[in-house]
Chain A
Amino acid sequence: MERQYDLSGVAAPALGALASAGDAATLQLERGAAKGVVVAGERTLADDDSAGCDLAVNGVTKRFGPVTALDDVSLKVRSGEFVTLLGPSGCGKTTLLRIVAGLELADHGRVAVGGADVTRIPANRRPVNTVFQNYALFPHLNVYENIAYGLRARKFPAPEVDRRVGEVLEMLHLEEMPKRRITQLSGGQKQRVALARALVNHPDVLLLDEPMSALDAKLRAEVQLELRRLQRQLGKTFILVTHDQNEAMTVSDRIFVMREARIVQSGPPAEVYDRPANRFVAEFLGTTNLINAWRTNGTVHTELGNLVPRAHPQWEKGFLSIRPEQIIVRSAKPSSNGIRAIISEVIYRGDHLDVYVQPGNLHVRGLPRAGMKPGEQIWLELPARQLEALGE
């Protein structure tokens, strides 16, 4: 497997081992290691079968003054995987990405790319590249020079620079505009240049820091699919930071949901959606019905009556959660978890109906059908295998 960087000079301590060596000594090592640099491969980006590398973050903590941005965060990303760090603003997801990029230094913990410890490797010697939130394109350079920047910084020979830049220009449909000034580009074009500027370096891991937040909704949807396609085609490891749950669902193999400096849940989109770990995740991903609940011995009580959740809860007081589309409307009383309800509001959405019922102000989503009118009495079934018992 070809490595872009020769990091072998760096002693890679076992993951999790804290940095005990003196800073100066560590830096010294890195300086020696950097001389190895760059093997310019003849293969193209698309069939670069070295593909991505795996990433391991172990016990990373980061404080900014009194604020804890990351609290003992660990995660593993497999080679060629597309993962998303999802969470509300201020949850530490961007800080985590910047620590992986080398633009922020963790107070504790380790980061390894492809098995090599990069914790004390400066950003300019890490085999990762970043697509920044505001793109951070160089306004005084044209599109071509922006993309070529990373190759030129590593003193690639001119023909190789030209070949690689041409390749990504084509891949991202930018063939028409290598000579354009950055200021003449639209938001979408800027975003593609930023992507090209990172990908041209064949990074082991590509980091994307909310790269679509500046695009309008329609374009964003297109770019998400494009990004997904690109990642499949290249087989690279992509790590995307976003606060948009739709985006996370669309592109990711796996989602890491973050909240207040910690990772609260990780898994494939369907798993995180269907089996949220707690109330926060259930509410953050999509919409859900939350029902206050309390437990006595083997029975779960709610103000809608006793209900049977998928798994028996450990808490005394908590919530039951069910997605609107998982509630089933019945004409007769179901065998279990049935609720007698009155329709309070019906909203026609074209492809589906949003129905709100009392008691509990439950939100039910279903196919348009006759007889759903405000004031109607209906039976609802909250199927046990989709009714999750959640803590706060």
Chain B
Amino acid sequence: MSRAEAAPRVRRSHWLLSTIAGATMVFLYLPLVAVAAMSVNAARFGVAWKGFSLRWYAQLLHNQVVLQAALNTLILAAVSTAISTVLGTLLAIGLERFPWPRWMRRIVDAVVYVPVVTPDIVFAVGMLLAFEAVRQAMGGLRLGLATMIVAHVTFQISFVALVVGSRLATLGRSVEEAARDLYADTWHSLRTITLPLIAPGIVAGAMLAFTLSLDDFVISFFTSGPSSVTLPLYIYGSLRRGVSPDIHALSTIVFLVTVTLVLGLQLFTRSPKEE
């Protein structure tokens, strides 16, 4: 066997590999496909096929609770993403673009990583404790959409900061120095060079934050109030009460929205702009 022709990048896979890959895909998608199938099943009870119908989708449109939950979910995701994108970007620029001594950099780095590495459930409990402390100190704080937004922002900031920060780091000094050399002052260079160049990072960070917010259950579960039911909480609650078929329709819609978001995110992070 000649060594020279070793290492072809594309190889034929062993049948065992292909089988495992196929099986894994089935494993990942079969439950979701089952839900999608049930969402167009006319049957009200049970899972026996009673013909194709979109009535559960139609029913969703008339379910005020679901519509409110959907609205809450979107408000939660949109507002928390907006806040965290701004704060995360400030954090990234503040950390990357200043001559901090090493100890300062380490401390900030550590703080940024706390929300990333803390287990969800502990994070949720921590938020709950923080809100409890605020309530006891000032009174009047009720768990609701506001507390959920605050909680989501707390973990989103770090993810945005990490994404934007890595983009800033790859940018390097030279383009900003070139801008300076070409008569740009601080503000002009920030506006015309730095921000446009890290924009893909900011967008990617924002989309990641949005996805994380939609994806979250545990933290919402702990920090929500009776008036701030979101879709995941609604679905979780209805699992307790007993499932009606419109949950299938709802889940399918959420899944499709997620697919769109993920594809959008991929499109942005792999933008051909980079070289």
Contacts and interface: CB of A to CB of B under 8 A. Distances in A.
A94 interface: no
Contacts of A139: 175, 197, 273
Contacts of A136: 174-175, 177-178
B238 to A, nearest CB: 48
Interface string B65-91: 000000000000000000000000000
B3 to A, nearest CB: 31
A387 B193 CA distance: 56
Interface in B178-212: 178-185, 188, 192-193, 196-197
Nearest to B184: A153
A124 B197 CA distance: 20
A101 interface: yes
A34 to B, nearest CB: 9
Contact of B178 (A122, A128, A130): A130
B5 interface: no
A124 B174 contact: no
Contact of A197 (B182, B188, B196): B182
A123 interface: yes
Contacts of A229: none
Given A139-B197, A139-B273, A140-B273, A124 B175 contact: no
Contact of B183 (A124, A137, A138): A124
A154 interface: yes
Interface string A80-123: 00000000000000000000011100000000000000000011
B182 A134 contact: no
Contacts of B181: 101-103, 123-124, 128-130, 198
Contacts of B184: 124, 149, 153
A267 interface: no
Interface in A266-318: none
B176 to A, nearest CB: 9
Nearest to A127: B183
A125 interface: yes
B62 to A, nearest CB: 48
Interface of B: 174-175, 177-185, 188, 192-193, 196-197, 273, 275
Closest 3 CB pairs of A and B: A150-B182, A136-B178, A136-B174
Given A134-B174, A136-B177, A139-B175, 17 more contacts: A103-B180, A122-B180, A123-B177, A123-B180, A123-B181, A124-B181, A125-B183, A130-B178, A132-B174, A132-B178, A137-B175, A137-B178, A138-B197, A139-B273, A150-B183, A197-B182, A201-B183
